[in-house]
């Protein structure tokens, strides 16, 4: 009971830390890391609640199956988010440079 509660509370603290970072920090990499930390917290809570101290089965298999697929899906989501963040950085920098050039050009032509 104590162990399960410890796991659940740790997962909950991880969730809170991830949520705070997700909203406060603006950099995409930090946001992706924060979402991962939140997901880990949720997985920890699910696995801890799946534990049954005494009963017929040793575990509740439904949360375990959800965590199992959730881990693989979170890995793929992280990869896609990282690639999107990289593309965002490349394209936004190029756009910014082009816009600053354009605006300086128009200013010069206007004056």
Partner 1 sequence: MKTGKVIMGQTRNRHKRLDWIQRLFLLLVLCLTTLLGVILCSSPETAPGLADAVAHLQGRSGVESPVTAVLLNFRGYDTLLEVMVLLLAVIGAWSLTKAPLPDQITDISPVQLGVVRLLVPVMCLVAAYLVWQGSHLAGGAFQGGAIIGAAGVLLLVSELPWLRDIPPLPLRIGLVLGPLVFVGTALFCLLWTGNLLGYPEGAGGWLILLIEAACALSIGLTLALLFAGGRPENELVKADKQTDFPCNRESL
- The CA distance from 57 to 7, in Å, is 20
8 A C-beta contact, residue 36 and residue 78 = yes
Q: How far is the CB of 70 from partner 1 (least distance, A)?
A: 8
108 backbone dihedrals φ, ψ, rounded to 5°: -65, -45
Sign of the Cα pseudo-torsion (104, 107, 109, 111, in order)? negative
Q: How far is the CB of 104 from partner 1 (least distance, A)?
A: 23
3: its two tokens: 């162990």
Residue 51, classed as helix, strand or coil, is strand
* Alpha helix stretches (DSSP H) within the chain: 2-24, 28-50, 61-110
2 binds partner 1 (CB under 8 A): no
- Site for partner 1 (CB under 8 A): which residue of 3, 68, 98, 102? 68
Closer residue to partner 1 (CB): 80 or 98: 80
Closer residue to partner 1 (CB): 100 or 106: 100
- Site for partner 1 (CB under 8 A): which residue of 3, 84, 96, 101? 84
Which residues contact partner 1 by CB under 8 A? 1, 5, 8-9, 12-13, 15-16, 19-20, 23-27, 29-30, 45, 49-50, 52-57, 59-66, 68-69, 71-73, 75-77, 79-80, 82-84, 86-87
């Amino acid at each position: 009971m104590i162990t399960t509660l410890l796991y659940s509370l740790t997962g909950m603290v991880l969730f809170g830390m991830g949520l705070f970072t997700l909203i406060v920090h603006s950099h995409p990499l930090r946001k992706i890391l924060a979402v991962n930390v939140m997901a880990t917290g949720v997985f920890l809570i699910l696995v801890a609640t799946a534990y049954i101290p005494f009963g017929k089965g040793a575990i509740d298999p439904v949360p375990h199956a959800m965590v199992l697929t959730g881990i693989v899906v979170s890995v793929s989501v992280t990869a896609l988010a990282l690639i999107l963040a990289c593309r965002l950085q490349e394209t936004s920098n190029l756009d910014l440079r082009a816009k600053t050039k354009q605006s300086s050009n128009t200013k010069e032509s206007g004056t």
